[in-house]
Amino acid sequence: MPARGFFGQELVDVGGLLLAAGAAHLLVLSLGHSDHGGRLLAAAGAVVLAASTLHRWRAHRAGARPFGRGPAAPHGGAADVADPGAPERERLWRVRVAVDDVPGGLAALTAQMAGRGVDIRLLQVHPGGDEAVDELYVTAPAGVGAEVLRATAARAGGRRAVVEPADVRDLTDTAARALSLLAGLVGGQTSLPEALVSVSGAEAVERRSAPPPGLEAEDVRRTEMSLPDPEGGALVLRRAVPFTPVEFARCRALVRAAACLRARLRTDSHEVPAS
């Protein structure tokens, strides 16, 4: 059964069409008896075309979005953070921040970075329990420094963000970095504490006679990590962002490699050359 008002709507449409046709016919007849009728019709058509073209151009321009520029930060966001120490040119930064290990957490962080014009060059995710530690190497434009990057990470739900200048040589994957650090240990160009800082992002490495209270010789407790020092005692690593099990495994493997290297060098030094 047709819906109520169906034929009524059809009659309204037909009536409107007949009315428009009649009005157009009367207009043409009235202008046809005038010497300027043709010119008036041409001018009216030109005005309509110009108005339509202008409207379409303005609508297209309003809907266009510059390539590579994200949405502007709302008032009170990272864009309003004062950063007097921001560099005057593009710079590479290392950002480590803890985020909730839930779907969309990383996407929110990258979206906020894009909104500030920050280019993510390298990204590593370290899962650990209910939260993950995201490590990013980013290129920030002039005027965007550590304070703005910390505020940007906080707007995405990040916590305890650590931002520090980075070097282009840091733009490598974890395996290549570990091999480079091991080569530095063998050649003597890198000390074990320096290597641990590079592989874990620790803010400090302390040599102690024993692990801190509550930690075993090889143990990790959120922001503290204890590892046996090949030279005796313990190496204690600390930072603001909690260490993850993956980072603990990497540091432990590096310390064990250093211990094996030290034992091998000690054995070689005690060998008596054959006469």
CATH number of 156's domain? 3.30.70.260
pLDDT in tens, the chain (275 residues): 444 444 555 665 655 566 655 666 666 666 555 555 556 556 665 665 666 677 676 766 654 444 333 444 444 444 445 455 666 788 899 898 888 888 888 888 889 999 989 998 888 887 766 778 888 889 998 888 889 999 999 998 888 888 888 877 777 767 777 778 888 887 778 888 888 888 887 888 989 888 888 888 889 988 899 999 888 889 999 988 788 788 888 888 888 888 888 777 767 655 555 55
Q: Residue 197 falls within a domain, yes or no?
A: yes
What pLDDT is recorded for position 30?
66
Distances (CA, A) of 171 to 58, 83, 139, 142, 168: 44, 25, 11, 20, 6
What pLDDT is recorded for position 248?
87
Q: Residue 73 falls within a domain, yes or no?
A: no
Is 226 in the same domain as 178? yes
Q: Residue 223 falls within a domain, yes or no?
A: yes
Is 87 in the same domain as 161? yes
Is 118 in the same domain as 140? yes
Q: Residue 132 falls within a domain, yes or no?
A: yes
Is 162 in the same domain as 237? no
Structural domain count, the chain: 2
Give the residue from 138, 170, 202 where a domain finishes: 170
d(CA 139, CA 197): 21
Q: Residue 99 falls within a domain, yes or no?
A: yes
Query: What angle separates helix 174-187 from helix 245-270, to the nearest 10 degrees?
Result: 20
Q: Does residue 207 contact residue 229 with C-beta atoms inside 8 Å?
A: yes
What pLDDT is recorded for position 66?
41
d(CA 17, CA 245): 75
Q: Residue 61 falls within a domain, yes or no?
A: no
Q: Residue 124 falls within a domain, yes or no?
A: yes
Is 149 in the same domain as 229? no
Structural domain including 242 reads: 174-270
Q: In this structure, what are the phi and psi dihedrals at residue 47, rounded to the nearest 5 degrees?
A: -65, -45
Is 149 in the same domain as 185? no
What pLDDT is recorded for position 85?
60
Is 98 in the same domain as 186? no
Q: Residue 55 falls within a domain, yes or no?
A: no
What pLDDT is recorded for position 226?
92
Is 137 in the same domain as 206? no
Is 108 in the same domain as 192? no
Residues near 15 by Cβ (< 8 Å), separated by ≥ 6? none
What pLDDT is recorded for position 227?
92
